[in-house]
Amino acid sequence: MSDKNIFNIENLGAPTYRSPLQLSTVKGDHIFNFVSESDRLVFDLSMDYYNHCLNDGESPICMEQAGPRQDIFFDAKNATAAIVTCGGLCPGINNVIRGLVMALHYFYGVKKIVGIPYGYEGLNPEKGHELVELTPDKVKDIHQFGGTFLGSSRGGQDVSVMVDTLESNKIDMLFAIGGDGTLKGVNAIGEEISKRDAKISVVGIPKTIDNDIDLIDESFGFQTAFDVASPILRDAHNEATGAYNGISIIKLMGRDSGFIAASAALAMPVVNFVLVPEMNFSLEGENGFFAALEQRLLQKKHAVIVVAEGAGQQLFKERQIVTDASGNVQHEDIGVFLKEKISEYFKGKSPVTIKYIDPSYIVRCAPANSSDSVYCSRLAYHAVHGAMAGKTKFVASRVNNRYVYIPIAEVTKKRKKIDLEGEFWFSVLQSTGQPFFLG
């Protein structure tokens, strides 16, 4: 990160309107202050980085602080905003939709807000999806439900066609709620808008149940996901202990990153093995998974195994690479595979009773819990403040527990993964008691 400007946010132009928010510009008057464009937060808080900047006389890499600006770019009463949700479902999507509508309408007085149905398909007229008018009355209760009020889809559409739709509908702001593919898509929309010298702000709100968006603290819905998964693990443990050599295998979501599986195991510490995509484990041999599982059964007569959907893909010998509409690799079913291989391993050795549980789609369709509900609302508010100020091609997010704006291009460079040498994974190993070599 040698470029000091990597976190600079693009602007559509100079803000010429006064914000309708009645906030302060003076500290100490017990009213929230407008955020200044000069307000920055240091990205790397480590002492090593502090000393590096001190010794080399460098300014630290900083991020723009999120929040309302005193001067805004759009004439709020004549502005039109659009909201789209893309990709897989995740707890909290409806909370974000609601938060965006309420902030636009009540904070800034934006009169026209439309929902784009079924993801980016809704921006392609050939798909035949009509835009939906969104009002506070229409969205006031949607936070109580999982899924997405607007519908979703995977895969992109022609960028030029999507921008044509935005322009023909006189959209001034586009809020895209989604994960890596969605964010790359809305960034491409922003690039096309820039080529046309159009004045449309595009904003991303990071959504992925896997928590694999890089740089940010966490994506919304993640806490609800492992919260919902925790009692499932408890019940799976009860199932395992109810039989001699009982084994429960629970598959949770996590295509490339195992954060849900690992966090759920920490939250419900009855799990004995956690297998995640970041691991390159083997089944056979002295240090293989089977030997560790056999030792566990000898000692305790039961075992609970949590496996992320993307774990162990290296074990499939004749694997064919198939992708979904979003370009994500469709993984082989590691849960069913493990059940079959464990059964084969213990056949003729000792009797085992194996139960396989896959609650993935129940987990992702749950309504947001209280913690995620708070997070979703705050992300929505900050996204609106940034868009109204004329910022574009950014995500509203939380880094180092502070709300900031980061360029979409920076958070989509790579996926966030569990550091197998980090304290978080070490905590998982301590909780489960699984051998370090499996980590």
Q: Which of 192, 208, 195, 109 is nearest to 154 (CA)?
A: 208
Cα separation, 397 vs 195, in Å, equals 26
In this structure, what are the phi and psi dihedrals at residue 247, rounded to the nearest 5 degrees? -125, 125
Cβ 2 vs Cβ 44: under 8 Å: no
Looking at residue 213, the DSSP 8-state letter turns out to be B
Collapse the DSSP code of 10 into the 3-class scheme (helix H, G, I; strand E, B; otherwise coil) and give the result.
strand
210 is catalytic: yes
Q: Which of 159, 150, 200, 139 is nearest to 178 (CA)?
A: 150
Cβ 113 vs Cβ 97: under 8 Å: no
Cα separation, 158 vs 85, in Å, equals 17
**DSSP code per residue over 274-317:** EE-TT----SSSTTSHHHHHHHHHHHHSEEEEEEETTTTGGG-T
Catalytically annotated residue among 210, 212, 227, 372: 210
Residue carrying the six token digits 């707890």: 91
Question: Residue length, the chain?
Answer: 439
318's CB contacts (< 8 A; 6+ apart) are: none
The H or E element spanning position 357 is: strand 353-357
Active-site residues, by number, are 210
